[in-house]
Amino acid sequence: MRYQKKRTVKPFSTEEQTGKRKFPLIQKCIIEASLSNVWDDARREWFLVDIIDDAADKFTDRCQICNHVGLKKNYEIQNSNTQAKYLVGSNCIRKFIILKGTMNLEDSSILFKLETEKIEAYKLIQNLLPAILSIPTSQQLVKFHRACHAVLGRPKLAQDIEPAQWREFVVRIFGQPNPPKNNLDRVKNALFNPRSVPQVRVKIDSEREQIAVGSWSGITKTRQTRAESTLVRSDAYKIDGGSEN
């Protein structure tokens, strides 16, 4: 009976949840770094800027607003008025922060999930960019293609992307709005016409380590032009369309 009753209880609203218990440390930290002195306004001034993994120098395993230790990742939040930043755990964001642009904790949680996926996708895109700008493996090309779709919403054509969205994409992956045209063209090809992108074919060796097949494997990065022309003549050269997924 008790179990049944528990299941039908509606979740607490934002106000009830924080009203049930006081969280003096979290409230103090957030209010101190916000423009408003009122908790329910102060916690609405923040947005997510970055995800920091434990290999980064600035990583801390202690949440800076609740002191919980044992974090595996930091979520960096920034105040839109004071520009103050905190490295916190995901739980604190889900429970206490109403991200800017949302009305309540529930919507904020949805935005938090979308934003974290976007940040992770951009990190992957940035990691893969050097390979895309030389000759990627087919696996790198597929990963790049998927990650771009994750941030751009699966566009079929360049025209499907809003200009502002495209500008943000270019700035975030190149660090500037006007990268060299050939670099931009390579990214566009990987995105819209992956079948046209030359790729290095790889096999898995006995130690399950990926190695490039063929004599050009050692020169793909340092001698790109020669590598490309060798590839084009080689039987092993393969145009392998990135699968849509």
Residues of the shown chain interacting with Zn ion in the complex, contacts defined by CB under 5 A: 63, 66, 68, 89, 92
CA distances from 187 to 7, 138, 148 (A): 50, 14, 10
What is the Cα–Cα distance from 194 to 178, expressed in whole angstroms?
22
Residues 6+ apart with CB under 8 A from 224: 134, 135
Q: Which residues pair with 75 in a beta bridge?
A: 51, 88
* Closest to Zn ion by CB, 17 or 215: 17
User: Which two three-digit tokens encode residue 72?
Assistant: 């595996």
List, as one string, the DSSP characters of 97-157. ---TT-SSHHHHHHHHHHHHHHHHHHHHHHHHHHHHHS--BHHHHHHHHHHHHHHHT--SS
* Closest to Zn ion by CB, 89 or 214: 89
Q: Tell the smallest beta-carbon distance from residue 89 to Zn ion (Å).
A: 4
* Closest to Zn ion by CB, 68 or 94: 68
Residues 6+ apart with CB under 8 A from 194: 141, 142, 145, 241, 242
* Closest to Zn ion by CB, 66 or 152: 66
Return the amino acid letter for 203: K
Q: Tell the smallest beta-carbon distance from residue 10 to Zn ion (Å).
A: 25
3-class secondary-structure state, position 100: coil
Contact assessment for residue 65 and residue 29, using Cβ atoms and an 8 Å cutoff? yes
* Closest to Zn ion by CB, 95 or 146: 95
Q: Tell the smallest beta-carbon distance from residue 55 to Zn ion (Å).
A: 21
* Closest to Zn ion by CB, 26 or 129: 26
3-class secondary-structure state, position 219: coil
